[in-house]
Amino acid sequence: MALQAHLGSITAPTLSLHKKEARWSPSTKETVFFGTSVSDYQAAISDLSSLIIISNNRRALKRGCVRAQTTMTTTPAINRAAPEGKKTLRKGSVIITGASSGLGLATAKALAESGKWHVVMACRDFLKAEKAARSVGMSRENYTVMHLDLASLDSVRQFVDNFKRSGRPLDVLVCNAAVYLPTAKEPTFTAEGFELSVGTNHLGHFLLSRILLEDMQKSDYPAKRLIIVGSITGNTNTLAGNVPPKAYLGDLRGLSAGLNGTNTSPMIDGGDFDGAKAYKDSKVCNMLTMQEFHRRYHEETGITFNSLYPGCIATTGLFREHIPLFRLLFPPFQKYITKGYVSEEEAGKRLAQVVSDPSLSKSGVYWSWNKDSASFENQLSQEASDVEKARKVWELSEKLVGLA
Ligand SMILES: NC(=O)c1ccc[n+]([C@@H]2O[C@H](COP(=O)([O-])OP(=O)(O)OC[C@H]3O[C@@H](n4cnc5c(N)ncnc54)[C@H](OP(=O)(O)O)[C@@H]3O)[C@@H](O)[C@H]2O)c1
């Protein structure tokens, strides 16, 4: 709350923009403006406004205003010689989902280039991933592409079987892949009939990480980590997280009923479909899952469980479903107006740090970075850190993916 109050006091121009957008009533939602519905512009402005927030976050940090920050490190170098104080002679083995573009690819590149990691690129489009790896100059001996479609639980299980058969150890798992469908008017579904954003971003990763935990436990690597990429947009303790539609899981009635959109709502809270909200809800599930993993398994296994907000990476494919105007304005707006731009390369280095930097070994942390690229432990919103909700999401998800 302190964070919100501080940011609120330094973002008056931003707030007036939000207020103006927030006044649009549902009846104006379908009004067409230069060939695009107002709701599409709302989505675009919502996302653009999140850039302002990031910029203001940075200014707040500069002024020492952000109370959420608890510890900071200014050592972005990855893979020092002695992770967690113990040396290892072999390369680390890391699986990164969605490594065919954006943050996942940049992270794969950073880790592969260090010469200390073999990256398993877990991707739905094998050829695209192979081409992407080559296009960024990754050496063949530093990566393997394996097929994984998170929108199919069968594919997740098949991936795990194939990975086990490969005989590789598993030291770090990075759940990075995501879909974002802010302009979708109707829900689409995974192979098992779950709404696509939550089905892919949360349920697919939930099953993957649960069944791979055993392999991580077997690893002799001294610093085992499970990382689930989060987002500022799912955190309502920030102004970005307060841009409508806000993340809200409610009493989980939609998740409990299976998110199938036929007899039940495709949304976790049981409400009407909203693609932008479904993405934000899925990110809350990602962050809750990381903490539930930490509570259930950290002490017993020694595995570090973390999440992060890598910064706003305006150029990635995440925005591919957005309106053309948004895709055109988003990167320059962030680069030149809010100055909140984070390049894919920089974001990749940040995630690579969470994979391998000994100074980021604390478990249960949601990492963020300030303008000097120094990492700090950030605070999650009330909902994204709700212990009881995390337990319920875990138990309902177990049933949906067939683990309970
Ligand atoms: N961009 C940002 O500003 C930002 C900010 C905060 C957090 N994040 C998070 O960063 C992560 C990466 O996003 P990004 O910005 O790098 O977007 P991106 O470039 O679109 O990358 C998303 C990746 O997910 C993959 N993917 C999508 N559906 C999949 C499925 N069913 N099975 C397997 N892989 C699938 C995509 O594969 P294809 O290449 O085949 O499409 C792609 O490789 C996400 O978790 C996102 O929430 C991004």
179, 196 Cβ separation under 8 angstroms = yes
Q: Is 131 in the pocket of ligand 1 (CB under 6 A)?
A: no
Interval between CA 98 and ligand 1 midpoint (Å): 6
Q: Is 102 in the pocket of ligand 1 (CB under 6 A)?
A: yes
Candidates 156, 179, 172, 201; CA nearest to 108 is 172
pLDDT reported for residue 358: 96
Q: Is 150 in the pocket of ligand 1 (CB under 6 A)?
A: yes
Catalytic (active-site) positions: 279
Cα 5 to Cα 65, 97, 169, 176: the distances in Å are 10, 36, 46, 31
Radius of gyration, alpha carbons of the chain = 20
Which ligand 1 atom lies nearest to the CA of residue 176?
Answer: 45
pTM: 0.83
255, 396 Cβ separation under 8 angstroms = yes
Which ligand 1 atom lies nearest to the CA of residue 124?
Answer: 33
Nearest-angstrom CA–CA distance, 188 and 194: 8
Indicate the top mutation candidate among 50, 107, 173, 176 to test ligand 1's pocket, ranked by most ligand atoms within 8 A of CB. 176
pLDDT reported for residue 84: 52
Is the residue at 395 inside a domain?
yes
Is the residue at 328 inside a domain?
no
Residue identifier of the C-alpha nearest atom 39 of ligand 1 = 100
243, 46 Cβ separation under 8 angstroms = yes
Read off the CATH number of the domain in which 287 is found: 3.40.50.720
Q: Is 174 in the pocket of ligand 1 (CB under 6 A)?
A: no
Is the residue at 275 inside a domain?
yes
Q: Is 156 in the pocket of ligand 1 (CB under 6 A)?
A: no
Interval between CA 204 and ligand 1 midpoint (Å): 13
Q: Is 331 in the pocket of ligand 1 (CB under 6 A)?
A: no
Side chain identity at residue 332, one-letter code: P
Cα 83 to Cα 27, 248, 249, 354: the distances in Å are 56, 38, 37, 12
359, 79 Cβ separation under 8 angstroms = no
Is the residue at 287 inside a domain?
yes
Q: Is 200 in the pocket of ligand 1 (CB under 6 A)?
A: yes
Pairing of strands 117-123, 375-378: unpaired
Burial (CB count <10 Å: 0-12, 13-18, 19+), residue 348: buried
Which ligand 1 atom lies nearest to the CA of residue 314?
Answer: 3
Interval between CA 102 and ligand 1 midpoint (Å): 7
Q: Provide CB contacts within 8 A for 318, sequence distance 6+.
A: 102, 178, 180
Q: Provide CB contacts within 8 A for 31, sequence distance 6+.
A: 37, 38
CB atoms within 10 A of CB 98: 30
pLDDT reported for residue 257: 94
Nearest-angstrom CA–CA distance, 358 and 190: 37
Nearest-angstrom CA–CA distance, 104 and 91: 19
Residue identifier of the C-alpha nearest atom 25 of ligand 1 = 98
User: Which range of residues forms the domain containing residue 150?
Assistant: 92-312+343-401
Candidates 403, 323, 292; CA nearest to 38 is 323
204, 156 Cβ separation under 8 angstroms = yes
Is the residue at 62 inside a domain?
no
Which ligand 1 atom lies nearest to the CA of residue 232?
Answer: 6
pLDDT reported for residue 82: 42
Which ligand 1 atom lies nearest to the CA of residue 99?
Answer: 43
**Can you list the positions of beta strands (E) in 288-334?**
304-308
Is the residue at 79 inside a domain?
no
Is the residue at 218 inside a domain?
yes
Interval between CA 14 and ligand 1 midpoint (Å): 27
Residue identifier of the C-alpha nearest atom 17 of ligand 1 = 318
Q: Is 347 in the pocket of ligand 1 (CB under 6 A)?
A: no
Candidates 377, 380, 381; CA nearest to 363 is 377
Q: Provide CB contacts within 8 A for 178, sequence distance 6+.
A: 98, 197, 200, 201, 229, 279, 282, 318
Task: State phi, psi for 72 to the nearest 5 degrees.
Answer: -140, 145
pLDDT reported for residue 334: 77
Joined together, the tokens standing for residue 144 give 């393997």
pLDDT in tens, the chain (404 residues): 333 323 222 222 222 223 222 222 333 232 222 223 334 444 444 444 444 444 444 443 333 333 333 344 433 333 333 445 555 469 999 999 999 999 999 999 999 999 999 999 999 999 999 999 999 999 999 999 999 999 999 999 999 999 999 999 999 999 999 999 999 999 999 999 999 999 999 999 999 999 999 999 999 999 999 999 999 888 888 877 888 999 999 999 999 999 987 778 999 999 999 999 999 999 999 999 999 999 999 999 999 999 999 988 988 888 888 888 988 898 888 778 776 789 999 999 999 999 999 999 999 999 999 988 999 999 999 999 999 999 999 999 999 999 99
Q: Is 312 in the pocket of ligand 1 (CB under 6 A)?
A: yes
In DSSP terms, 123 is beta-bridged to 147
Which ligand 1 atom lies nearest to the CA of residue 155?
Answer: 32
Nearest-angstrom CA–CA distance, 211 and 215: 8
Indicate the top mutation candidate among 101, 160, 306 to test ligand 1's pocket, ranked by most ligand atoms within 8 A of CB. 101
First-to-last CA distance in the chain? Answer: 37
Q: Is 377 in the pocket of ligand 1 (CB under 6 A)?
A: no
Q: Is 116 in the pocket of ligand 1 (CB under 6 A)?
A: no
pLDDT reported for residue 86: 52
- Helix intervals (H) in 64-167: 102-114, 126-135, 153-166
Q: Provide CB contacts within 8 A for 71, sequence distance 6+.
A: 376, 377
DSSP state of 123: E
**In the chain, how many domains are there?**
1
Interval between CA 339 and ligand 1 midpoint (Å): 23
Is the residue at 148 inside a domain?
yes
